[in-house]
Structure 1
Amino acid sequence: MDGSTPKKHVCIVGAGISGLRCADVLLSHGFEVTILEARDRIGGRICQSDQLGYTVDIGPNWIHAWTDDSKEPHPIYTLAMATNTPLHHWNNKQLIFDSNGNSLSAELTERLSTLVWQIIEMAFQQSEEAHLNGSSHTIPAEDSLYDFIRRKAEELVTNEKERGLLLQMSEMFGAYVGVPVWRQSLRFAWMEECCGGEEMFVSSNYSAILARAAKPALDSPNCHIQLNTLVTSVVTHKQRLPNQQVKISTATGSTLEFDEVIMTTPLGWLKKHHKSVFSPALPDRLTSAISSLSLSNLEKVFITFPIAFWSQQTTNSVPQNNPPGESASPCYMNWLTPSYPDSLPTNPNSWPQEIWDLSSFSPPNNYSTILFYLYGDCSKHIVKLIHNKSSAEKLALLKEFFKPYYSRLPGYDEERTECQPKAILATEWCMDELSGYGSYCNFQVGIEEADKDVLAFREGVPEKRLWFCGEHAAPFEECGTVAGAYLSGEAVARKVVDVYR
């Protein structure tokens, strides 16, 4: 656009990280932008809570930074560095409890966990090679990542007991993708390989990163952000003609018109509402993508104690001879398929549990908190258990469920007040309507064309002046991540810019 041309007016539906990055690029090219956000805040699924007595992220915590030098600098890592956001690099120490509640030896833990990740990397490699040489169809659509791990375990582990432990340990991958490992598609495992990059945890919270990403939109006179504005209807034309506009209706009864509309709404929301919101209906290829891509479920439970009693101890399971300043405590602890008596009343399905030790952060962020990651049916069970309950009821229910696990941490003593939780915070994303009652996209067994489904979102419907972005429209290997959402917003904005060049 040049100075003599009226500014084209673009509507972005959603003020999450993808919408904010999209607005940044459009504003830098002279567009007028209106962002319609249904929540009473910006950020989407990047948000915080002070319920523990300090601020924690109830949305994303991690930065999965790629290590490939051929790529551009990782955008979220770059924002973290620019805002002096502290990042934590975990040590490689683990404490794993077997199905009887007994801790495994350090040697066995290290050997089997290393092998688990080697096998998962083999699965990624097979999946990616099949994709690159056009033979993905040779991997059955119903074949799961767990099927691959089981076959490799039978090949590589002769000891039956150790093979069983390895298979149980492989279930930890469910907390990365939000579904059990036997639901994860092997054919499209390569699209989950973002988890193979450098793993960093935001040890404060994402608020400074979000503020920096939002600054261009918040500061520009050409950007208008309307909060508490739920979009209920998007009316497009059958083909692209000059001077047409897309009509948007909102729950408040207003009707607005724009030259282009970019939908950053989550996949789960599209699954629930695309048939009622878009008129005429979306193209078949896009509706197929909305239906085919799966939605994961991932929830978090933060439990804070008066002191980090578990880090005051050492056990036979924890390697010693630590570098100066490094804790002897493991950063990661896992309870494999718990079947001990005190776990079964509240967890009869024996869902495995895992925590990360947040007390290992550098000051001032080293709070005495452990973080449970829940996925699949377990996450839905916990949310259903506590939803619409009072704070006191939630605290009692969550203590009852998680006590069989934290009570097995080193140094626990039932009689010590320091070992009793003083605050618990549980997320409830699977009850969040604007997120579509789930977390992020996932590629589950049975899916036939996950890569083409993502490409359909990236392509959008330009002939209808309608575009899509978000973590489900991200670059391959970045789906389901903050970086993927950010990059998808940037990519779709550049496509709109190209239309008007």
Structure 2
Amino acid sequence: MERKETGRREMESDRWSLHGTDRRNHPEKKVLIIGAGLSGLVAAKILANTGFGVTVLEARERIGGRIWTDHSLGAPVDLGASWIHDASANPVRLWAHCEGAPLAELPRSHFWLYRRGKATPLALLGARNAARLLRLGVPFLAAWLLTKLRYAISPQYDRSFGSVLQHLFPKGQERTEFGRLVHWLVGMNEAVEGTSVDVLSLAAWNPLEYFSRNIVPLPSFEPLLKRLAQGLDIRLNMPVCSVRFRGDKVEVIAGNTVHFADAVLVTVPLGILKEKKIRFEPELPANKRAAIERIGYNERGVLNKIALRFTKRFWDPRKDRFGCLPESPQERGKFTYWVSVEEPSGAPILIGFSSGAVAAQMDTQYSDEEILQAALHSLRRMFGKIGAQLVGYRVTRWLSDPYSRGSYSYAAVGNSCADRKILAQPVAGRIFFAGEATQPHQFATVQAALLSGEREACRIHKELCCHRKIAGNLPWHRFCR
């Protein structure tokens, strides 16, 4: 029995090792990883199973970073990253499949917009306003294409999504059905991008991403993260304040403790780097500091959630995503989009989303009770009387969170993929960087975090060990074979 268990552990180790089944060439090097989010855990798993001595320092009292599964409502609910986007080609889906994690498409239904208990399909509302939507949409798309062409010459020709929309939007239409529908669509865009359209790059905007198929792990991301963290040396409640590098060693100060390593991988959210919560000695190169400033993160907007658990489901089980038109442009993104998570959580729970500038205002200025009342007001506008008692609720405040300072990165005006590549470049062959913001494409996603962790694990392995690697053993590669 012991022999079988040893064999199982060796197979698990081989699966994450860049040396595969060859255990002769193990590097005697120590690596510190700052942050136990997905990118940090992926890199730690690969490096540890390849033979490096790996320690993960995490500021929070939990692993996961911006993947956060909460149990305070008596059921698992993902209050950070929730979805596996573009599921057909997503490495996170392949990894989950390898781990035997069940997956489900969510949401499944068409989108419904409610008013006083009456549901209208979004498609019907669009058809009803088709002529005016075309009069706005055609010149907007033309401006988008022209901006993309000019941006290819130089990022200085970029414009914000919001400035173009404001210029083209017909005056006096804000409170009509057409105007409220446009503002609802803009609020959805701000939810996807995690910021206000006033600072969002028009050139980088990709409308096709809204049509991708999305799935969720059941019951949440938590089992996948726990499996990933098994066997790793993870130190919780260890916020790092300083990274010093001289010669071939790196010194990291976390609280009252000092750690030494041959290399350090920094995986903290971009907001932490923007606010200089970690002091680097010597200072990071000027081009990296400039890239950190140019990449969009937390300026004037955020994406937050509220989870509401009721005594029973009072919404139509055939409709798992719905919302309502904003009462005014200032109310856009204020819980006008809801998703039922009854299937993954196994409980009558709704998730409401706040996005853009109004979400940033609520994050920093509202109490939890005020946020709850705003969410309930939205549901009453939609359904009239709420046909169930509220059992409990949980709000997120990613902008105020001292260890995230925002939800995720976005393409700011004038920002380019080159900035993210600069952010990802190592410093002095000893300081490495990972996280969703370091990926030039598909940033702001779970897959970006995963792939950046793999990328830097391979880079550290090449720098400190050897050029030989067998990346095909990794679960998201192995499944493809």
TM-score by length of 2: 0.78
Query: Is the 1:65–1:77 Cα contact (8 Å) retained in structure 2?
Result: no
Query: Which of 448, 452, 455 in structure 2 is aligned with 1:488?
Result: 452
Query: Which of 41, 56, 64 in structure 2 is aligned with 1:43?
Result: 64
Deviation, 1:111, is 3.3
Query: Is the 2:242–2:280 Cα contact (8 Å) retained in structure 1?
Result: yes
Distance in 1 separating the partners of 2:85 and 2:203: 22
Residue 407 (structure 1) aligns with: 380
Deviation, 1:420, is 3.5
SS in 1 for 2:214: strand
Deviation, 1:267, is 0.6
Deviation, 1:78, is 1.8
Query: Which of 348, 363, 384 in structure 2 is aligned with 1:368?
Result: 348
Query: Which of 54, 62, 72 in structure 2 is aligned with 1:33?
Result: 54
CA separation of 1:4/1:54 partners in 2, compared to 1, >3 Å: closer, same or farther?
closer
Residue 20 (structure 1) aligns with: 41
Deviation, 1:151, is 7.7
> Which structure 2 residues correspond to residues 214-229 of structure 1 after superposition, within 5 A?
214=229, 218-219=230-231, 223-229=232-238
Residue 315 (structure 1) aligns with: none
Deviation, 1:4, is 7.5
Distance in 1 separating the partners of 2:338 and 2:72: 19
Query: Is the 1:356–1:372 Cα contact (8 Å) retained in structure 2?
Result: yes
> Which structure 2 residues correspond to residues 359-398 of structure 1 after superposition, within 5 A?
361-362=342-343, 365-385=345-365, 387=367, 394=368, 396-398=369-371
Query: Is the 1:39–1:227 Cα contact (8 Å) retained in structure 2?
Result: yes
The amino acid that maps onto 1:248 is V
Query: Which of 273, 280, 283 in structure 1 is aligned with 2:282?
Result: 280
Query: Is the 1:265–1:470 Cα contact (8 Å) retained in structure 2?
Result: yes
Deviation, 1:65, is 2.5
CA separation of 1:308/1:498 partners in 2, compared to 1, >3 Å: closer, same or farther?
same
Deviation, 1:212, is 3.0
Distance in 2 separating the partners of 1:449 and 1:371: 32
CA separation of 1:245/1:308 partners in 2, compared to 1, >3 Å: closer, same or farther?
same
CA RMSD in angstroms comes to 3.7
SS in 1 for 2:102: coil
The amino acid that maps onto 2:447 is A
Structure 1: stretches of 5+ with no match in the other structure? 68-72, 312-326, 340-346, 388-393
User: Is 1:310 the counterpart of 2:315 in the alignment?
Assistant: yes
Distance in 2 separating the partners of 1:76 and 1:121: 34
Query: Which of 66, 80, 86 in structure 1 is aligned with 2:103?
Result: 86
Deviation, 1:368, is 2.1
Query: Is the 2:27–2:51 Cα contact (8 Å) retained in structure 1?
Result: no
The amino acid that maps onto 1:74 is N
Deviation, 1:451, is 1.1
Deviation, 1:136, is 5.0
Deviation, 1:85, is 3.0
Distance in 2 separating the partners of 1:406 and 1:300: 14
> Which structure 2 residues correspond to residues 83-482 of structure 1 after superposition, within 5 A?
83-96=100-113, 108-111=124-127, 126=145, 130=149, 134-135=152-153, 137=155, 140-141=157-158, 143-147=159-163, 163-171=178-186, 172-190=188-206, 195-202=210-217, 204-214=219-229, 218-219=230-231, 223-237=232-246, 244-252=248-256, 254-273=257-276, 277-296=279-298, 297-311=302-316, 327-329=317-319, 331-339=320-328, 352-358=334-340, 361-362=342-343, 365-385=345-365, 387=367, 394=368, 396-410=369-383, 412-413=384-385, 418-435=387-404, 437-445=405-413, 448-461=414-427, 463-476=428-441, 478-482=442-446
TM-score by length of 1: 0.76
The amino acid that maps onto 1:336 is L
Structure 2: stretches of 5+ with no match in the other structure? 1-18, 467-481
Q: How many residues are treated as equivalent by the alignment?
A: 434
Output one character per residue of 1:289-347: Cα deviation in whole Å (capped at 9) or x when no partner. 11111213111011222222221xxxxxxxxxxxxxxx543x322322315xxxxxxx9
Distance in 1 separating the partners of 2:308 and 2:138: 32
Query: Is the 1:10–1:33 Cα contact (8 Å) retained in structure 2?
Result: yes
The amino acid that maps onto 1:135 is I
SS in 1 for 2:84: strand
Distance in 2 separating the partners of 1:457 and 1:475: 10
Distance in 2 separating the partners of 1:441 and 1:79: 24
Distance in 1 separating the partners of 2:452 and 2:210: 18
CA separation of 1:59/1:235 partners in 2, compared to 1, >3 Å: closer, same or farther?
same
**Percent sequence identity over matched residues?**
25
Query: Is the 2:161–2:201 Cα contact (8 Å) retained in structure 1?
Result: yes
Distance in 2 separating the partners of 1:358 and 1:48: 16
